[in-house]
Structure 1
Amino acid sequence: MRVLLACFLIALAAPAWADTVWLNNGDRLSGEIILLDGGKLALKTRYAGQVLIDWKDIDTLSSDKPLLVRRSGFDNEHSERLAAAGSGMVRVQGVREYTLPLAQITRLVPPRPLLEDNVWEGNLDAKLDMKRNQNDVDEWKLKGNTRVEHGRWRHVLSGELEHETKNGRKVEDNWELEYDLDRFFTQHWFWRGGIEQSEDEFESIQRQRIVGTGPGYRFWDDELGRFDLIAQFNRVRLESDVDDLAFNTTSLELDYKRLLWGTRFEFYANAELQVPHIDEIDYVLDSEFGLRYRVNQWARLSLLYELDQVRGQGRTVADRHYLIGIGVGW
C-alpha cells in the first residue's frame, strides 16, 4: 500500500507531459513543448517559466505528447511521440516510424481539437495620454476582448471605453460593447448571431445598435493563432436628438491572430466591412491592426493602428488612430 500510495502521489505531482530537450553544449532542459516556429522552440518549464531556444542549438529532443510536425516542403505529419536519436536527429513515432534530421523540421505544434471544452482567452489593453502645455489634456482608452469555447458553442465579448478632458472639461466620452454567439456545425463551419451597441456623448449620432446573423468559416485555430471569416445580414438603428434611422446592411468580418518569433510577438487584425442597403452610404469600414510583445505569461506591450472609414455621396471620411499601451493577456 505504501508503494502504491507513493506512486500515486508522484503521478499527481508530475506534469501532464514530460518533454526533454538536449542542447549541443550538453545541457538538458525538461518541461512542455509549446511550439516551434520561426527557428525558436518555446519550452514551458516549472523552474524558469517559458524559455525560447534557438533550434540550431538543439542536439535532440523527446516528447510524450502528440505533435504536428512540419517538414521543409511537406505538409504537416501527425506524430504520437518523439524519441531522442543521434546528434541532430529525432525519432518520429506514429502511424509510421522513422528518423528525421532536426534541420528538416520547420514547425512543431501541439494539435488542438477544433471543438474542445473549456477554452478561455482574452486581452485587455490600456492607453493613457497626458499633455501639459498651453492646454492640459488627459486622455485614456481601454480596449478588451475575451472568448469562451465549450463543445460546439463559442462566446465572444469585446468592448471599448474612451474618455478625454481638456482643461478640466470633458470633450470625449464614448463606449462600445459587442457580444457574439457561435454554433459550430462542422470543424470549420459555424453560424453566428450577435448584438452590438455603442454610445457617444459628443457625436450627432448618440446611440447605435446593430443586430446581425450569418455564417462563418474557421480556417484554423491552434497554438500559432486563428483565422475566421464571417458574413452577416444586419439590422442597424441610429438614434440622435434630431431623428432616428433604421436600415439593413450586409457585412464581412475578419478575425486574425498569429504568434511570431516563438510566441514573443503577436500580430492581430480585426476588420469589418459593412455595405448599407441605402443610397446615402456606400460602405463603412471599421478595422484595427496591432502588434503585441509578450513580456511574460500575462503582461503585454501593444502597438495598435485603427482605421475607420465611411464612403457616401462621392465623399470619403477617414479617422485614424495610433495607440501605444500596456495590457494583460490570458
Structure 2
Amino acid sequence: MTALQRSGPAAWRQALSGFFSGFAVSLSLFSLSLLSLSLVSLSASADTVHLKNGDKISGDILALDASSLRIKPGYTSAITIERSAIQSFETTEKRQWSINRSVQEVTIEASTDIGMVLVDNEPVPLHELLFPVADDSEPWRYSGSIEAALDGTHNSRDTQKLRAKTDLTAETLNWRHNLKTEVHYELEDDVTKRNTLQGQYSLDYLVNDYWFVRQEDFYQQDHLGINTRSYYFALGPGYRLWGVDRDKLDLVLTYNRFWLDNDFFSYQLNAWAATLNYKQYWFDGVLETFADYQVAFIDVPTIDYLSDATFGLKYLLTQHIYLSFKYDINESKSSVSHNRDISYGLGLGVNF
C-alpha cells in the first residue's frame, strides 16, 4: 500500500483540495492572461486621433468630412471632433478613402506635422481626405453666402460702387448647381453711372473625381438710360487640377454664344473661353483666398480678347460672419485700343 492509501480518507480529501486549489489559481491566471491579450488586441486594432492639445482618442473612425471627424471609442458613444482641433490620426485597417479626389484603399499613419498624415510614407494634408467615399445615396449638400460691399475704382474720378451679391451651391455625388446674383450701383462725381442686375447659373456634371462638364448661363440688365440686356450660354469640359471639397483649382474650357440687345439693335456673336476658379482655406478655415479668371476670344476680327480677373480673401469674424477684400481687373484689347479697368472693394458677408 502506498503512504496515501495508508493515511485514510482525510489525506485523500486534503490532496484533492490542494489539487483543485492549484487548478483554480492556474485557471484564474490563464483567464487574466486572455483578458490582457484581448485588451492589448483591442487597443492595437483601434484608430487613434492625435489632438493639438496633446490628447489622444482611440476607437473606430466613422466619418471625416470638410468640418469634422467622428470616432467611436470603445467606452462611450461616438464623438465629433472639429478638424481645427486635429493634429493627425492613424488607422490600422485598410479602407477606401477619398484622397485629393482619388479613391484609394490604404491605411493611414500619423504625422508629427500639424494638419498632415502619412499615406505610403508620403505626407498628405488633412483637408485632402474624406471618409467614407460618397455613394449614390449621399444627400444633397447646401452652402452659400450673402454679402454687401463698397467698391472703389483706381482712376482720377471720385467713384463709389455699391455691390450686393448672393452665392448659393447645392451638390451631390454627380451634380453641382451654383447660382450667383449681383446688384451693382455706381456713382461717379455725384452722377449715377451704373445700375445693373446680374444673374449667373452653372450646372456641373461630375464625371469622376477630376473631370466634369459645365453648362453656364449668364444674364445682365442695365437700368440706366437705354435699357440694355446681355446674355450668354456656355458649354464645355472642366478639370480639377488640384484640391478636394472646399479647396480647389478648376480649369474650364467652353464654347460661348452671346446675345446683346437694347431698344435700338440686337447683336449675336460666338467666343471660346478659358476659366480658372481657385479657392483655398488657411488657418483651420479662418482665412479663405480665392481667384477667378476668364479670358474670351471672340470671333470678331478687330477684337483680340476680353478678360475678367478677380482676386480676394475672406476673414471669418465669427463662425458665419466674414470680412472680404476683392480686387478686380477688367481688360479688353482690340486693334485700335487696349482698355483696363481696376477696382477694389471691402465687404461684409454671412456664410450659411
Superposed pair shares fold, TM > 0.5: yes
Say yes or no: does 1:192 pair with 2:210. no
- For 1:295, the equivalent position in structure 2 comes to 317
- Match of 2:130, SS state, is coil
Paired with 1:167 and 1:275, the residues of 2 have a C-alpha distance of 34
1:108 maps to what in 2? 126
Instruction: Check conservation: 1:69, 1:107, Cα contact below 8 A.
Output: no
Aligned position for 1:248:
270
State the distance in 2 between where 1:301 and 1:63 align. Answer: 38
Contact 1:66 1:81 survives alignment (8 Å)? no
- Paired letter, 1:278: V
Higher helix proportion, which one? 2
Q: AA paired with 1:172? A: R
2:236 to 214, 222, 234: 214
Question: How much does 1:302 deviate?
Answer: 0.6
Task: Name the CA distance, whole Å, in 1 between partners of 2:113 and 2:297.
Answer: 55
Instruction: Give the partner amino acid of 1:111.
Output: L
Q: Distance in 2 between matches of 1:144 and 1:321?
A: 20
Per the TM alignment, residue 220 of structure 1 is displaced from its structure 2 partner at its CA by: 4.1
Q: Which amino acid aligns with 1:219?
A: L
| 1:67–1:81 CA contact under 8 A, matched in 2 | no
Matched, 1:229 2:247: no
Q: For residues 167 and 91 of structure 2, what CA distance do their matches in structure 1 show? A: 33
User: What's the secondary structure of 1:282's corresponding residue?
Assistant: strand
Residue 196 of structure 2 is aligned to residue 174 of structure 1: yes
Task: Determine the C-alpha separation between the residues in 1 that align with 2:107 and 2:299.
Answer: 52
Instruction: Give, as a single letter, the amino acid of the residue that structure 1 aligns with 2:282.
Output: L
- Which amino acid in the other structure matches residue 298 of structure 2? P
| Other-structure match for 1:155 | 177
Distance 1:276 1:205, change over 3 A: farther
Which whole-Å CA distance do the structure 1 matches of 2:86 and 2:140 have between them?
32
In structure 2, C-alpha distance between the alignment counterparts of 1:215 and 1:249, rounded to whole Å:
15
Maintained 8 Å contact 2:257/2:269: yes
Alignment of 1:1-330 (within 5 A): 20-22=49-51, 52=84, 107-109=125-127, 110-111=129-130, 113=133, 117-128=139-150, 139-164=161-186, 170-202=192-224, 206-223=228-245, 225-330=247-352
Deviations along 1:107-152, one digit per CA (max 9) or x if unpaired, are 223326477541222233211479xxxxx99752112322211231
> C-alpha offsets along residues 82-104 of structure 1, whole Å, 9 cap, x if unaligned?
68x9x999xx899x8xxx8xxx9
**Pair 1:82–1:66, CA change in 2 (3 A):** farther
Alpha-carbon distance between aligned partners in 2 of 1:184 and 1:23, rounded to the nearest angstrom: 35
Structure 2: how far apart are the matches of 1:117 and 1:68?
17
**Aligned counterpart, 1:11:** none
> Is 118-127 or 137-146 further displaced after alignment?
137-146
Cα distance in 1 for residues equivalent to 2:65 and 2:308: 33
1:201 is displaced (CA, Å) by 2.5
Distance in 2 separating the partners of 1:273 and 1:107: 32
Say which structure is richer in strand: 1
The more displaced of 188-197 and 162-171 is 162-171
Cα shift at 1:295: 2.2
One-letter identity of the residue aligned with 1:107:
P
Measure, in 2, the Cα distance between the counterparts of 1:230 and 1:270. 11
User: Quick one: distance in 2 between partners of 1:227 and 1:244?
Assistant: 36
The Cα shift of 1:217 comes to: 1.4
Identify if the C-alpha distance between structure 1 residues 111 and 54 changes in structure 2 by more than 3 Å, giving closer, same or farther. Answer: closer
Superposition TM-score, scaled by structure 1 size: 0.68
Secondary structure of 2:126's match?
strand
RMSD: 4.5
What letter matches 2:130 in structure 1? P
The CA deviation at 1:218 is: 2.2
Shift of 1:226: 1.3
Q: Return the letter of the residue paired with 2:217.
A: I
Q: Distance in 2 between matches of 1:260 and 1:292?
A: 10
* Inter-partner Cα distance in structure 2 for 1:311 and 1:204: 25
Q: Which moved more, 1:142-151 or 1:319-328?
A: 142-151
Number of residue pairs matched by the alignment: 282
Cα distance in structure 2, aligned partners of 1:315 and 1:167: 25
